[in-house]
Structure 1
Amino acid sequence: MQTQQTTSIATGDFALPLHDPILVFLVLLAIVLIIPSLFKRINLPSIIGLIIAGILVGPYGFDILSNDSGMEMFSTIGLMYIMFTAGLELDFNEFVANRNKSLIFGFFTFMFPLLIGYPICRYVLGYDQMPAFLTASMFSTHTLVSYPIVSRMGVSKNQAIAITVGGTIFTDAAVLIILAIITSANDGALNGGFWVKLIVSLILFSIIVFLLIPKLAKWFFQKVEDDKYSHYIFVLFILFVCGFLAELGGLEPIIGAFAAGLALNRLIPHTSALMNRIDFFGNALFIPIFLISVGMIVDVKVVLTGWETLIVALVLTCVAIMGKWLAAFFTQKAFNYSASQRGLIFGLSSSHAAATLAIIIVGYQAGILDEYILNGTIILILITCIISSLATQRAAKQLVMEEEESSFTPAALGNYAQEKILVAIANPANIGYLVDLALLIKDPKSPNPVSLLGVVPNNVEAEKNIIKFRQKLQESVMDASAAEMNVDIITTIDYNIPNGIVRTARETMADIVIMGWPGGKIGLLDKLLGDKVDATIRSLDKNLFICHLEKPLISNSRIVVISPPLAEKEYGFSVWLRKVVKLAQELSLPVVHLGHPDTQKTIADQKNIKNLFVFIPFTDWNNPMSCAEYIKEGDLIMLVSAHRGYISYIIGLDHFPTRLETLFPHHNRIIIYPQQHTPNVLLEADHPIFTPFKIYKQQPS
């Protein structure tokens, strides 16, 4: 076969449509390479360009490519990849907290198009009950064609996105079930056996995907920790296993793909190298080819076949857009969303592609729908994909500007948008998960790299030790580069290691210093009294994180934060709170806060973060270990301590770390010492979280 293909190319056999796999792939790559850049220059979404390119090269255009099994495979992979990515990038805490809102939006986006579409198809277009109902149900579906725009612009964690994606699954599942019911009724197979099979398959699917697969994935990531390529192949394997299981249960594979994303959501941090690989392959290859394949099914010439086709197409398109806009409008009013959030909901939910086409083709092949509906749906797909892309891009831009002005982000905190994180490493062999933590909590808007610091004793071996130290840290730098994160290595010579850490932190203007938990056989309290860590704590005027991380952070199921009374009055309160929020979002973990009600009220008042937290009042600092009853297996324990002489310092904090280590020796633990001083520019910042700091200015004793 290879010889025949080579001969056909050599003899100039370039008959259209192209069938040689090399030429087919070459044309696809040329489109993916050129079209996005071209449309970016004219300020239009690249999605529109890829769909139009598909129309031109497809069987209804210049017939350069055929819509054969190869294109169908890429199209299926691309659509599943979009749904899988949507499940992965979904803010799981937001999704769970707002699942009722997703149900309400799903109800709106299902019922409004159906209620508008049925009477129009029945009485305006003149179809019978079953064709009218099936066509009207098609209006309720939508495909997240414009989701890559949301992902690229960094607003995928907004609550409006969470309920739209959740509502998409609810409404698409409902419509696809309706399709199965109608086709079964048309074939005379709608009986008790049909309903039993449907319900049992849904239950088994949910058990496998949401209970068994997360446990399997957690085990695999821990056992095959260093093989990054196997991680990506494993993720693809899970994606298609879930798609296949959905098919076995009588559902569309896209439902399985989204469920796979949800199942792996907590196990793949959004700033990890694995997530970067998933995004890279999807955005570079699979998703663009899917969009091209959408264009290839559009036959623009159907509008020339007669006025009836054109009228049906326009009616279908207007009904589809009107129904989705009304659903977005009532969702906005119900949940008090902004106009830009309404625009995002409408933009994401207004595009019709795969599910819509599947319903219409199945109905057409079953003899329920005629060619006018089929051709009109093709035009509907083209128009709605264009409208969806434009609406989503416009709304996403507005939302980005709104969030930068008002939300609880580093950008709103002045100089902290330039934050600098320093990871102090005593022994490169024991670096553990310190770098992972730094990359997870790093502000993505800061251009500064994460710095790995090694302080080498000033002796005759100093230069040789510096070289060895840098070589051993190169692997961490390479892992960070794979995640497109900036990491550099700093090595310095000093007679005293704490002095070297403190000096370098000041020289680099670091905001956060991360260190490992002290080792050795003696207790933590004895280690902290008079050793290197204690000297660093006393001398360092930065936010200090002392970490015991012996398990991957993805193995944790919750974050438990313990803070003393008046913690909200400390200078560094805003920093550690922001980092807890960032860590929880990256790992999709809930946060349980044990602390004073006043501290909890301050946290709850912050915009866009309260859904992450479960508040448990805790004030018994005469017996601080009574908080242990709230700590479970798999919790990441974060204790917010304080420096002596500061407003939130209490004596019990001195012994607390030792007791935590004794009681929970195998839990991941982090002690946070908030920053002692705050730059004057931040003291004057007009931000609500700094208001208490202006009142409680105090110097350490």
Structure 2
Amino acid sequence: MAIQSLVESPIIAFTILLTVIFTVPPIFEKLRLPGLVGLLVAGVILGENGLKLLNSESDTIKLLSDIGKIYLMFVAGLEIDLEQFRKTKNRSIGFGTLTFLVPLIAGILVGRLFNFGWNSSFLIGSLLASHTLLAYPIVSRLGVVTNEAVTVTIGATIFTDTGALLVLAICVGIHGGEFTALSLATLLGGLAIYSVVVLFGFDWAGKEFFRRSGDEQSNQFLFILLALFLASVGAQVIGVEKIVGAFLAGLAVNDVLGRSPVKEKVEFIGSVLFIPCFFVDMGLLIDIPAFLKTLSSIWLAAVIVIALIGSKFIAAFLAKLFYRYNTAEMLTMWSLSLPQVAATLAAALVAYQTVNPTGERLISEGVLNSVIVLMLVTAILGPVITARSATALQVSDADLGTDSLATWWESHETEVEEQQHQFTVVVPIYNPQTQRYLIEMAALLARHEGGRIVPLAITKALIQMDDPQLVMALDQSQKRLKLAQEISQEFDVEVSPAIRIDDDAALGISRASRERNANLVVMGWSQTTGFRARLFGSVIDSVFWSSHCPVAVTRLLSSPTSIQRILVPVGDLTRQTIGAVRFAQILADVNQAEVVLLHVSDRKTPPALVEKFTSQLLEITTKSQLQVKTNIQTVKGDDVARVIIREAQAFDLAVLRSVRYRTAGGLGVSQVTTQILRELKCSIVLLGEPHS
């Protein structure tokens, strides 16, 4: 009895969940399986069919799973790039209609084939109609996000997810009991009014609150959570499933959050805690005998999987015909729209738990198990096909930049920045031990551009301006600035030292840079990874987000004046990458150094594609008027990070881009850059652009 009561304790259940979330996904990722598969398996092992340590009916599991379910749909709404959608709105709606209707019809036919009622058949169709952009990190890494076919598919997600959730809402309403044309009209009318209130009301309220709250990230975080739960409760009030409200809330605050640190914190809390709880609960619901029975009479699962894959392919093929896309673009659209994770799983669970007065479920256990099989197959198949097909995509002509640091990023603010002012490099200084190399780097760049440097000392604000601690801190800042001025004079460059008193170091740097119309911020290194940095954010993260100009974060092991060989890994031809190439060439021009552009290609990439990429890269380098020795090196390898780390051993400096990859559903994706930063033995410059 004592053991039984321990197992039923909410604290014990929560502790077990945290242990599973902490340990299981990394193990499965090492086996090259999605971490969410591990969570499902853990749920099966710990549930009624296994060790009986967790019970899906317990209040703790129900609460955490419910929060995870709505958080999953909220993040799905947040992850949709509304800017990309606006660029190709018409074609996104067109492809969205195709990739929604064709699978919907296929699902209805499957339902009728297996003798399900019309309502259940429509529900099965809606489960196939949505998609999760699980392979987005792959197209982002390959630098083909700007390709129209990719942009159209991303935009179509709004249409498919919204449509699927509307069908779910109607099917749940019909299944709940007596349903007439009047009640259907009432439901649709209420849903339309509710959607307008959430999408426009929450958007307006969010922008007003963020404008008035300034830098209070804790209150902004709470506001976003409140918006999520208010929208979910509001959906239930009008008789619609709460995940519909969560998704609409995600769309509503999408513009409000942008790429702010608050968005990162909102997604982080969901991805490390609530969403994994939902997947564990999905595992708890799997009845092993019934699941094995579903697999033994494999027809239902097989037909659903084939219907999904076939219908998504037909939709992509029709889009190819209508919009004159090539085969690579069609295959990429197909593979991006294949994975069925976020909306599909959440809607399937809702449908399974919906019981009418006679005790009949909206979908059977067999359909639920088939959907889980569908999720496993498509979550693996989609990204694999994307990785192969997206390598053949053409990217839009990138901005080839100029030979001036003052203009390689100027498209961010062309209307504000006419570059008539003196080129300015702001250098935040704090540590006297590393200050020399930092000032030297900034001075070299400023001298090349005929500009000036602004050594900046940030002093932590106190309530009273005559506080002895503040006086002492200001005195130390003056000493650091004096040293910075002495170092700068060695390079014959104009110096304008500055002290700023501020509550927040990162915002102090960004504000001072904006006030001085800086063209570049050169910072020293600080810890940017790990739990604490992810939860609370680092100074570098905050400056990357809030700065109006590019930021160069440096880890210099020797004087920048001694740099002779510079390595620039090049994975794509986006403007950001070309900016990194220009940065390296300008630094090399100062020291008469050599630049090597390293392109690591997949072993399966056709030689013709690698050759084409190399010729495009050569064209970019030859456009430069700088007399810099620039070589291109191509290496085949499956582990990009390992190849870069190996090749970098022969170089003095590596210039990297700061890129973050996310995927809807809060599923973590390993970052090549993070591994490189951890293991490189040479000096590093990490370039981040505004809002990166």
| TM > 0.5 | yes
Residues 173/382 of structure 1: CA separation in 2 closer, same or farther (3 Å cut): closer
User: In structure 2, what is the Cα distance between the partners aligned to 1:544 and 1:163?
Assistant: 33
Structure 1 position 289 matched with structure 2 position 291: no
CA contact (8 A) 2:294 2:369 kept: no
2:158 to 158, 166, 169: 166
1:354 alignment counterpart: 346
Deviations 1:315-353 (A, max 9, x none): 444434443444455446655325344312212579831
* Count of residue correspondences: 489
1:74 alignment counterpart: 64
Structure 1 position 345 matched with structure 2 position 345: no
CA contact (8 A) 1:298 1:382 kept: no
CA drift of 1:237 comes to 0.7
1:266 alignment counterpart: 255
1:47-66 mapped onto 2 (5 Å cutoff): 47-66=36-55
User: In structure 2, what is the Cα distance between the partners aligned to 1:219 and 1:239?
Assistant: 17
2:199 to 210, 231, 235: 210
Instruction: Give the letter for the 2:255 counterpart.
Output: R
CA drift of 1:24 comes to 0.6
TM-score normalized by the length of structure 1: 0.56
CA contact (8 A) 2:43 2:281 kept: yes
Please identify, of 100-109 and 231-240, the stretch whose mean Cα deviation from structure 2 is larger: 100-109
User: In structure 2, what is the Cα distance between the partners aligned to 1:392 and 1:349?
Assistant: 11
Instruction: Give the letter for the 1:282 counterpart.
Output: G
Residues 302/33 of structure 1: CA separation in 2 closer, same or farther (3 Å cut): same
Residues 409/42 of structure 1: CA separation in 2 closer, same or farther (3 Å cut): farther
1:2-401 mapped onto 2 (5 Å cutoff): 13-15=2-4, 18-68=7-57, 69-122=59-112, 124-127=113-116, 130=118, 133-134=121-122, 136-142=124-130, 144=132, 146=134, 159=151, 162-180=154-172, 182-183=174-175, 187-206=177-196, 208-270=197-259, 272-303=260-291, 310-331=298-319, 334-335=322-323, 336=325, 337=329, 339-348=331-340, 352-362=344-354, 365=356, 374-395=364-385, 397=387
User: In structure 1, what is the Cα distance between the partners aligned to 2:132 and 2:68?
Assistant: 11
1:623 alignment counterpart: none
Residues 327/159 of structure 1: CA separation in 2 closer, same or farther (3 Å cut): same
1:463-542 mapped onto 2 (5 Å cutoff): 467-468=473-474, 492-493=484-485, 502=494
User: In structure 1, what is the Cα distance between the partners aligned to 2:481 and 2:487?
Assistant: 20
User: In structure 1, what is the Cα distance between the partners aligned to 2:209 and 2:250?
Assistant: 16
**What is the percent sequence identity of the aligned residues?**
20
CA drift of 1:152 comes to 10
- Structure 1 SS opposite 2:253: helix
CA drift of 1:205 comes to 3.2
1:617 alignment counterpart: none
Residues 688/489 of structure 1: CA separation in 2 closer, same or farther (3 Å cut): farther
CA drift of 1:302 comes to 0.9
CA contact (8 A) 1:88 1:264 kept: yes
TM-score normalized by the length of structure 2: 0.57
Instruction: Give the letter for the 2:32 counterpart.
Output: N
CA contact (8 A) 2:425 2:454 kept: yes
Instruction: Give the letter for the 1:388 counterpart.
Output: T
User: In structure 1, what is the Cα distance between the partners aligned to 2:292 and 2:238?
Assistant: 41
CA contact (8 A) 2:92 2:153 kept: no
User: In structure 2, what is the Cα distance between the partners aligned to 1:356 and 1:71?
Assistant: 18
CA drift of 1:98 comes to 3.0
Instruction: Give the letter for the 1:234 counterpart.
Output: F
Instruction: Give the letter for the 1:286 counterpart.
Output: F
2:654 alignment counterpart: none
Deviations 1:283-307 (A, max 9, x none): 2111111111122222231155699
Instruction: Give the letter for the 2:334 counterpart.
Output: R
2:426 to 424, 427, 435: 424
Residues 47/17 of structure 1: CA separation in 2 closer, same or farther (3 Å cut): farther
User: In structure 2, what is the Cα distance between the partners aligned to 1:73 and 1:119?
Assistant: 35
1:448 alignment counterpart: none
Instruction: Give the letter for the 1:453 counterpart.
Output: P
Residues 118/455 of structure 1: CA separation in 2 closer, same or farther (3 Å cut): closer
Structure 2's unaligned 5+ residue stretches are 410-422, 431-452, 459-469, 498-508, 522-543, 551-571, 576-585, 598-614, 629-692
CA contact (8 A) 1:106 1:170 kept: no
CA contact (8 A) 1:300 1:379 kept: no
- Structure 1 SS opposite 2:338: helix
1:620 alignment counterpart: none
CA contact (8 A) 1:78 1:288 kept: yes
2:433 alignment counterpart: none
Instruction: Give the letter for the 1:274 counterpart.
Output: V
1:544-623 mapped onto 2 (5 Å cutoff): none
User: In structure 2, what is the Cα distance between the partners aligned to 1:380 and 1:468?
Assistant: 66
User: In structure 1, what is the Cα distance between the partners aligned to 2:24 and 2:137?
Assistant: 15
CA contact (8 A) 2:76 2:342 kept: no
User: In structure 2, what is the Cα distance between the partners aligned to 1:307 and 1:258?
Assistant: 32
User: In structure 1, what is the Cα distance between the partners aligned to 2:476 and 2:80?
Assistant: 37
CA RMSD of aligned residues (A): 5.5
User: In structure 1, what is the Cα distance between the partners aligned to 2:618 and 2:70?
Assistant: 43
- Structure 1 SS opposite 2:171: helix
User: In structure 1, what is the Cα distance between the partners aligned to 2:429 and 2:30?
Assistant: 50
- Structure 2 SS opposite 1:15: helix
CA contact (8 A) 2:400 2:620 kept: no
